[in-house]
Structure 1
Amino acid sequence: MIGYVTIGTNDIEKSKAFWCDLLEELGASVVMDAGRIAFIGNGSEKAMLAVCTPYDENAPHPGNGAMVAIDPGSKEMVEKLYARALELGATSDGEPGQRIPDMFYGAYFKDPDGNKACFYQFA
């Protein structure tokens, strides 16, 4: 149902590098690059993450309550990709752990632009 989610950046090249490096193990790469916006994923037929400089040319602002959630396939990958995000310059917004007993495992971080994201796994 979801085609893509867009997050703002002040530095499109830095943002593309961060997200491509982070999601490389999931097979993601830049699917389409139109200069001020780049779509990252496993092909245009699947959900993608788009990074962009805002169309109105004003500064991007992460939304309060807005978040991108990515299912990497296992709890081990949640932990691995969370650690990789921090290595790449993200900040922790919640270490890996069980959030809903026997149901939801997640790890939260903010990318270098302050956009909140989560790697998660349903039990």
Structure 2
Amino acid sequence: MIGYVTLGTADLNRASAFYDDLLGSIGASRFLEEPDYFIAWAKSPEQCSLAVTLPFNKEPATVGNGTMAAVALETPEQVDAFYQKALGLGGTCEGAPGFRPEGATSGFYAGYFRDLDGNKLNAFCMVGE
């Protein structure tokens, strides 16, 4: 249902280096780009993509309160690795990987982090009983 998610940035070069490395770790690459303005990554052009952009209105990029982009992965191990990759690239922890609600042993497994501009992201997977 969702085609793409766009996150604002104050520094397109810094954001693009972060996402080239982070999203490259799960097989996504740049597929659409407007120099000095916008970059989008996806596993294929037909799949949902994640983009970063300098704001069109030329105002400062800000973080949306309650706004979050979620990256769907297949296993808890992939979630753990993606989360650790984000932190290793300078992202900050917003909730270590684990089942939600705490104490669950199946269902929703997720790790939360913020990128270099403070945008909140989540890596998650669903785990059966």
Residue in 1 aligned with 2:8?
A: 8
Query: Partners in 2 of 1:83 and 1:27 — Cα distance?
Result: 16
Residue in 2 aligned with 1:59?
A: 60
The structure having more radius of gyration, on CA atoms, is 2
Pairwise CA distance, 1:25: 2.1
Residue in 2 aligned with 1:25?
A: 25
Gaps (5+ residues) in structure 2? Answer: none
Instruction: State, as a whole percentage, how many aligned pairs show the same letter.
Output: 39
Query: Partners in 1 of 2:44 and 2:79 — Cα distance?
Result: 22
Residue in 2 aligned with 1:77?
A: 78
**Contact 2:72/2:124 (8 A) holds in 1:** yes
Pairwise CA distance, 1:95: 0.4
User: What is the count of residue pairs matched by the alignment?
Assistant: 123
TM-score normalized by structure 1?
0.96
Q: 1:121 aligns with which of 100, 106, 125?
A: 125
Amino acid at match of 1:62: V
Pairwise CA distance, 1:73: 1.4
1:87 is aligned to 2:88: yes
Q: After TM superposition, where is structure 1 displaced by more than 6 Å over at least 4 residues in a row?
A: none
**Contact 2:97/2:110 (8 A) holds in 1:** yes
1:104 is aligned to 2:108: yes
Query: Partners in 2 of 1:40 and 1:13 — Cα distance?
Result: 14
Amino acid at match of 1:96: P
The range that moved more, 95-104 or 83-92, is 95-104
Amino acid at match of 1:32: L
Query: Partners in 1 of 2:54 and 2:119 — Cα distance?
Result: 13
Pairwise CA distance, 1:43: 2.2
